[in-house]
Amino acid sequence: MPAASRYRKSKKSNKKKYIIFSLIAFAVLAIIIFKLISANLLYLNKTIYPLGYKEIVMQESEKYNVKPALVFAVIKAESNFNQNSESHAGAIGLMQLMPSTFEWLQTKIGDDNNKMTSEKLKDPNTNIEYGTYFLSYLIKKYNNEDAAICAYNAGQGKVDEWLSEKKYSSDSVHLDSIPYPETDNYLKSVKYAEEKYISLYFSK
């Protein structure tokens, strides 16, 4: 075989090897980049949706049979895990309980001879216990998580009213529409956060 022909064959072979090597290197680099991006996204998501007060939440959610993801989602939506948070309306603490609601809840699970003041709502243990019990009570009352979440925000009286009207509820159980934009947005916010918590921590 002439030297020129052998040279051309060798050149083609080297070019083919170079292309294969380049494709493999690109694939490996793409996998590394994908894993780095995925890890960073996971870290970012877990930073935005943390398991704050995890021990208390897990304990109270089990005690009152409420999904922990829902409790975390309500805390995220209500106070973003700030135990000293106070709203303009007067709601206090991690799960933003009103003093009047707290007083009423104490007649359900508290000690009648040892009533706590609203200042106690800044204590994470107390706030999460009573907030989780309140969610449990609402879920049992309405037999519907969405209605319970709306009642947590707008009050039981309003949700009772909406469920009794055909324009808002066709079956008196599910809310087909929510007349309060604030409550509608609140429900969407809590459900989105709940889905995030499930996918990040409770899907296995």
- As annotated, the active-site residues are 78
Place of tokens 């996204």: 41
As a whole number of angstroms, the longest Cα–Cα distance in the chain is: 107
Q: Which of 59, 48, 188 is nearest to 128 (CA)?
A: 59
Cβ atoms < 10 Å from Cβ of 116: 15
- Residue 74 is classified by DSSP as H
CB 128 within 8 A of CB 97: no
Separation CA 151–CA 78 (nearest Å): 14
How far is residue 92 from each of residues 78, 107, 118, 154, 157, measured CA to CA in Å? 10, 19, 8, 16, 21
